Chain A
Amino acid sequence: MQENYKPKNIEKRLIYLQSRDGVLDIFFGCMLMAAALSDTFTYYNWAEPWYIRFMIIILMVPFLLVKVFLTTPRIGYVKMKPVAGGRKQLLILLTIFGIVLTTLLLAATLLKGPLLSNHEFSLSPVVEFAFWIFLFGFIGWLMGLYSLIAVGLIFGFAWPIAGMIGLDSIASLPAELFTVGLPGFVIAGIGIIRLIKFLRMFPRQNLKANFEHGEQ
């Protein structure tokens, strides 16, 4: 990646740098695997453990711990300049959209039975493919999180491939495992490889107190 120190580009560079630990990929991968696991429980009419429905909140804990104790000490701390008016409004809008969407998804998951049992629906694999690639690609491009584009591609391609190999009944378990579980496994695996690479590339700095600009 070419070095670009223009203020408007450096924020993207920093987010990219922080995303190199692969933790976000592991997070998304685990979320998808949890969704596939949830579908497996539903398919077999097994009692679903309570924690699967709260997986997004549970996964946030290790995600934040890794960021605080592994990533930041290795790449260093940096605080960005306050964002400009127009950009700030866009970020606020996206945050509100994200909160509303998460709340709706959480509510739909918690009320899964009454809300969705009689309203099964499925989109065409091509629409799913386009939707996921567009969604992850757009967020990835906007925030400089380029690995999200790969997440969108892996997740998106699973849908038409499932259709091509005959897993076209979206509600069936093999189709769910193929389109949700398998991409989750691949994405989490890529995330683990990226985390190992990151830890090798950025060893923890043992700064000598005297060197760090005078006596500490």
Chain B
Amino acid sequence: MENNNIRSIIDADKIIHEPARVVIMSLLNAVDSADFVFLMNQTGLTQGNLSSHLSKLEAAAYIEIEKTFHKKRPRTIIRISQTGREAFSKYMEIMKGFYNSVG
């Protein structure tokens, strides 16, 4: 049983399994939507870095990105998709199982 949990990490989603993307997904999983500035402040990532990670998550259809204007300034709204929510939930189960196995 424990062996299965240890080996299950091999099946962990590689798109999510990157520290910055885990933080992004954790934040987006907890809220309805957030903008680029909020994610930048919360993750501590640079603009370029965050943009690159968001592109990867969007390509996997884990997040949805909507560009709007607020008081004549562009605002990028990001929200987790249903696919992303399910993938993140599965990822967390695997990680919990793994951590429980290794103590």
Q: Is the CB of A216 within 8 A of B37?
A: no
**Given A5-B30, A81-B31, A208-B47, A75-B54 contact (CB < 8 Å):** no
Q: Taking the nearest CB of chain A, how far is it from the CB of B22, in angstroms?
A: 10
**A window 185-216: CB within 8 A of B:** 202, 205, 207-209, 211-214, 216
Q: Is the CB of A211 within 8 A of B48?
A: yes
**Given A5-B30, A205-B40, A209-B74, A216-B35 contact (CB < 8 Å):** no
Q: Is the CB of A76 within 8 A of B48?
A: no
Our pick among B26, B39, B55, B65 for the contact of A76 (Cβ within 8 Å) is: B39
Our pick among A7, A76, A212, A213 for the contact of B30 (Cβ within 8 Å) is: A7
- A79 interface hit (Cβ, 8 Å): yes
Most buried by A among B30, B34, B75: B30
Q: Is the CB of A81 within 8 A of B40?
A: no
- B20 interface hit (Cβ, 8 Å): no
Q: Is the CB of B37 within 8 A of A77?
A: yes
Q: Is the interface of B mostly helix, strand, loop or mixed?
A: helix
Q: Is the CB of A211 within 8 A of B51?
A: yes
**Given A7-B29, A216-B74, A78-B54 contact (CB < 8 Å):** no
Q: What are 15 sample pairs from A and B whose C-beta atoms fall under 8 A apart?
A: A5-B26, A5-B27, A10-B30, A74-B37, A75-B37, A75-B41, A77-B77, A78-B33, A80-B31, A81-B32, A207-B36, A208-B47, A212-B51, A213-B51, A213-B65
Listed in ascending order, the chain B residues whose CB lies under 8 Å from chain A are 23, 26-27, 29-42, 47-48, 51, 54-55, 65, 67, 70, 74-77
4 tightest Cβ-Cβ pairs between the two chains A and B: A76-B38, A76-B37, A211-B47, A10-B30
> Other CB < 8 Å A-B pairs besides A212-B74, A214-B55, A216-B74, 5 of them?
A5-B26, A5-B29, A7-B29, A76-B42, A212-B76
**A window 28-83: CB within 8 A of B:** 73-82
CB neighbours of B77 from chain A (8 A):
77
Most buried by A among B29, B35, B37, B74: B37
- A6 interface hit (Cβ, 8 Å): yes
Q: Taking the nearest CB of chain B, how far is it from the CB of A24, in angstroms?
A: 20
Q: Is the CB of A213 within 8 A of B76?
A: yes
Most buried by B among A7, A74, A78: A78
**A window 114-140: CB within 8 A of B:** none
Q: Taking the nearest CB of chain B, how far is it from the CB of A21, in angstroms?
A: 13
Our pick among A5, A7, A213 for the contact of B36 (Cβ within 8 Å) is: A213
CB neighbours of A208 from chain B (8 A):
47
Q: Taking the nearest CB of chain A, how far is it from the CB of B49, in angstroms?
A: 10
Report how far A214 CA is from B59 CA in the complex, Å.
Answer: 13
